[in-house]
Structure 1
Amino acid sequence: MTSTARTASTGTGRRTARVVGLIGIVAGVVMIVAGATTWVTVSSQLEAQNITVSQDADLLAGDTVDGPFSAYAQAQVIDRHALEATGGKTYAELEQDDPLRATAMNASFLRASLFTSVVAYGVSALVIGLGVLFGLVGWALRGLGAAPAPAAVTGTTRPAVPQPV
């Protein structure tokens, strides 16, 4: 029996698996709570701004901006409106003294703010997903640690050897 097999079959190896499993479950719960809290916070902060997706949006027109899809839709509309106002030019393409440069800059800042919230939603979803994964792995480790020890191998047992014919 190898030292690894001996350790796994002893109480020490099983106890370690159970402790690591518990740590995984706790970490998973913390991650799920943190991700959900971030999601709710970003949603409430966006909703408090009373932004409505423009009526000429490709999707979610008229909806309140309070989630990742509505924030993305509004950012796309802002970009389209800014390009229409500047004749298709971006902030960097406009002359320094062009009065439309301020319009392009404001549109750029608004889009960046909305995209920041979209990224925050993505990170929140990732953290929640990883929390679920950590919890499942922890649960599996706890189960392995609780499994009965394998039967001991004795020196009297010999594997069957094929006999020549």
Structure 2
Amino acid sequence: MSDTVATADTIEAPQKKVGLVKIIGTLGILGGIVLIIAGIIVWSVVSSQLRAENITVPDDAMAFQGQTVAGPLTAYVQADIIQLHALEASGGKTYAELEQDDPVRAVMMNASFLRASLFTSVVSFGVAAFAMGIGVLSILVGTGLNRLASAPVVVRRATVV
């Protein structure tokens, strides 16, 4: 009499401890939602603050002529045209290159401050977009962790016949 071994596949609910994985997945999803909401709020606040300044991109700018500065692209173009106009006013000299008593130096200083403010808003838009992107990624990873933790386990059991 010979013993034969047969295997049977059965699908069972997970018997492993996956509570921590599910918690991390859920926290990832919640964190992603918070990041997306925060990114949207920052984007909206910066955009509304720029819009409230009523800055219009001049006709000699490289793009967006006549549009109100309210986003990262219009802010960048406005900063660029400010630099062009300031350099025209100073004869191509920067603030540091002008004599200390030169009256145009105040124009260059104001232009520099305006450009720095506009570039700060461009960076703020970038950080907001980054936060939203990481939020989406966090939701995807969290969802993946939750799905993996809930996946059924195939158990192979050997039976002796």
Could you tell me how far apart the structure 1 residues matched to 2:67 and 2:46 are? 16
Q: Percent identity?
A: 54
Could you tell me how far apart the structure 2 residues matched to 1:152 and 1:113 are? 65
- 1:116 to 2:120 alignment: yes
Which of residues 49, 56, 59 in structure 1 aligns to 2:53?
49
Deviation at residue 15 of structure 1 after TM alignment: 1.7
| Structure 1 consecutive aligned stretches of length 4 or more whose deviation exceeds 4 Å | 152-156
Q: For CA contacts below 8 A with separation 6 or more, give which structure has more relative contact order.
A: 2
Once the two structures are superposed, residues 76-110 of structure 1 have per-residue CA deviations (whole angstroms, 9 ceiling, x without a partner) of 00000000000000101111111110000000000
Deviation at residue 153 of structure 1 after TM alignment: 6.2
Taking a change above 3 Å as real, the CA distance of residues 100 and 154 of structure 1, as seen in their structure-2 partners, is: farther
AA partner of residue 38 (structure 1): V
Does the 8 Å contact 1:82/1:104 carry over to 2? yes
Deviation at residue 149 of structure 1 after TM alignment: 2.5
More strand by share: 2
- 1:149 to 2:158 alignment: no
Could you tell me how far apart the structure 1 residues matched to 2:154 and 2:118 are? 56
Unaligned runs of at least 5 residues, structure 1 = 1-8, 157-165
Taking a change above 3 Å as real, the CA distance of residues 85 and 152 of structure 1, as seen in their structure-2 partners, is: same
Unaligned runs of at least 5 residues, structure 2 = 1-13
More helix by share: 1
Task: Give the TM-score, by structure 2 length.
Answer: 0.87
Partner-residue secondary structure (3-state), 1:151: strand
